[in-house]
């Protein structure tokens, strides 16, 4: 797949999820990755947070998180992300899909081009960052939205959308967040509709509503108990 090609039309699952505690949000994302082969096609999830929280990257130190926020460690990399006014989404792609055949940066470009197109549906002019995070930035403590990297989404030179990936034999888990430095500039529902429009246009998608079955829910609940809700996971560094 060349970056200038139009992807073949395809159908993705779409889960308009609600707000959850931090540990469950991360557990659900991992459960979706582990069950990707069963679904057999990509899934897009929109979701929220039921409290003030930050998520820290997989390799980050726990003390990178600020005081006063619930903290959860993501299964993906990247920096500290504040979940106060942000809009969070997840893309899960099963192994064998064309996106899994691209390197990490090129898959970022496709997904973040879709986010860029969505913002333009809201009359917000956006661009994609051209350079990597400087080597002198401490990745163990960095704050995500203060450090744009290649193909992050920028508005007026400021990072407004970032993402991180985990790649396994099951496929790709792509976790993304939009943050404008304060309350969302448009109603949350309008931003969701615009992002859906951007994804449909750039990736040539049809989206079908989806909800988790009992197996996915039970797996997520187990991952909360054994992993994301534990100090062993969240304070491991």
Known catalytic residues? 144
Query: Which residues, 6+ apart, have CB-to-CB distance to 237 below 8 Å?
Result: 59, 60, 61, 62, 140
User: What number of CA atoms fall less than 13 Å from residue 68's CA on the CB side?
Assistant: 3
CB crowding 21-58: b at 16 or more within 10 Å, else e: bbbbbbbbbbbbbbbbeeeeebbbbbbebeeebbbbbe
Rounded CA-CA distance 39/32 in Å is: 9
94-110 core/surface letters (b: 16 or more CB in 10 A; e: else): beebebbebeeeebbbb
Residue 140: strand, helix, or coil? coil
CB 37 within 8 A of CB 170: yes
DSSP per residue, 162-191: EEEEEEETTEEEEEEEE--SSS-SS-HHHH
């Amino acid at each position: 797949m060349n970056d200038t090609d139009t992807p073949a039309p395809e159908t993705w699952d779409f889960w308009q999820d609600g707000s959850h505690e931090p540990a469950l949000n991360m557990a659900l994302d991992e459960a979706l990755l582990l069950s990707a082969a069963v679904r057999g096609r990509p899934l897009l999830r929109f979701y929220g947070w039921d409290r003030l929280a930050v998520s820290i990257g997989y390799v980050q130190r726990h003390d990178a998180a600020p005081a006063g926020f619930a903290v959860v460690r993501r299964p993906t990399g990247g920096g500290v992300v504040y979940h106060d006014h942000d809009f969070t989404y997840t893309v899960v792609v099963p192994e064998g899909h064309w996106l899994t055949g691209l390197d990490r940066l090129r898959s970022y470009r496709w997904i973040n081009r879709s986010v860029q197109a969505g913002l333009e549906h809201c009359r917000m002019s956006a661009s994609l960052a051209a350079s990597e995070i400087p080597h002198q930035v401490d990745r163990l403590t960095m704050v995500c939205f203060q450090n744009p990297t290649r193909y992050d989404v920028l508005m007026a030179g400021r990072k407004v959308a970032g993402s991180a990936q985990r790649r396994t034999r099951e496929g790709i888990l792509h976790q993304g967040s939009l943050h404008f430095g304060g309350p969302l500039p448009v109603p949350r529902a309008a931003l969701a509709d615009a992002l859906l429009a951007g994804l449909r246009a750039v990736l040539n998608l049809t989206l079908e509503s989806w909800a988790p079955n009992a197996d996915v829910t039970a797996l997520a609940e187990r991952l909360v108990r054994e992993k994301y809700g534990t100090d062993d996971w969240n304070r491991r560094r």
